Structure 1
């Protein structure tokens, strides 16, 4: 099969199966290989030099790495444009729930106050709604934490997307092809909102149950519920590309990465080496957790065997979790 050629000068283009835009290395013109570029948006990116400056500044401000700048070697960053659909969704839910409400009250017996625990089972019904805009990565292969944090930063900072034709004319970066349709993105958005909708149902049911017994500070636990939900609004934006720079640096023979939002240079995810001070903190945490709970367990051994056993077990578990940092060679900050 003949390789694609530049639509402007006719030169062969260097493409991969993932290519969306191929910039001709001879005339510098962008060539759009998939779909209609007029229907696609992209957020413009800072130039590579600005991204490098931002990454170096971030490293100089890091409490641990700034003292090791002379041992860090930065490489040239790579720019990737990740495809997202921004799905505007609203879900409504009608529910019926059985809630156990527990509270204490003071009663007087022969003039003496006594505290009693009261438990009531309350049946409630209601309706809740949830609205949100969900960024759905239009790729089957996940980019993990970096894509999620990039999308969150996009919503927080609100850069303005431009037509893909304008952004691609800059001639830098790799645009990754979208692998899912807008309809699939809508379905993924709804699935991501369902747990939050159910949590809102439980919150609303608990409030209604407390109001029903007239004790707003009572403990309420939803024992059973039936939920019927409907999708009241579900709209997907045009495919929108967000720029993500991946910058690699070498420290003590190992490679680490900064993931940088292209539009403002913010390091959204940073891989960093687990240094001696981090391992020392993990060791101190393990010793403190094990010592405190272990001491409590031994102190109660002869008076409360059950509580003693729980304390000793908890001490072992917390020590294990705290000591996990001793084994990690790298850590992630966001």
Structure 2
């Protein structure tokens, strides 16, 4: 539980365009959605900051910078959270896309904050908001990838965001366990340190596009968990294991894979040994890229409508 120690002053207006992608369960498409949402908006001309608050550092796999010179495994992020200094993003990971790198050092952040701000649980939870607010105004969009199954790191991410988007698989365990867990953290953070936090929506991720009965079941389970199915986005991101493998093995976002697929080598070039099979990119990336682009538009449209209302 968060206690009642005084909260530092934070310019919440600077964080009004911050989206956290969160679920209490891993393997539901959270990092994939965060990376591709940020990358799509940047590719469309927006100025975007992607913040990786996850000890696994899988944003680096999606964007292809793992084990490169910019991969400090979250050391700079950890130090900023410890001192309260503004974040120092890595610029130009993609045109228009800057990144605050995550990784193994982020996993130790909760213990570090507990030691640094002993008996100040509000200050611990607000560490990311304090360091993010001074730089967030430089960007049109801020996307935060949060850690699954780690309540202290989830609180950090939720405390810095205006909107929460929750991806989930369509099975009951992902919905009841994953949504149930993050819903508890959501309520705690909103009631104690971030009253601006709002649930924007839930998206079915990695589900067969023709699975109508599965989608009906999932809709009912979401309604059982949240009290309504009204939070579900219309867009369903379809399942493709090949696209998921290609994205992380090549370090490319899905819309980048779509472009690369158009240059796949011809069959006769492969047979003649003039091209390597490892250069082939799944042609199904086009359909998944379309789903992600449609979802990105739906997320931004819904947020604008709710702000206007």
Give yes or no for TM over 0.5: no
Scaled by the length of structure 2, the TM-score of the pair is: 0.19
- Bigger Cα Rg: 1
**Which structure: greater helix fraction?**
2
TM-score (norm 1): 0.18
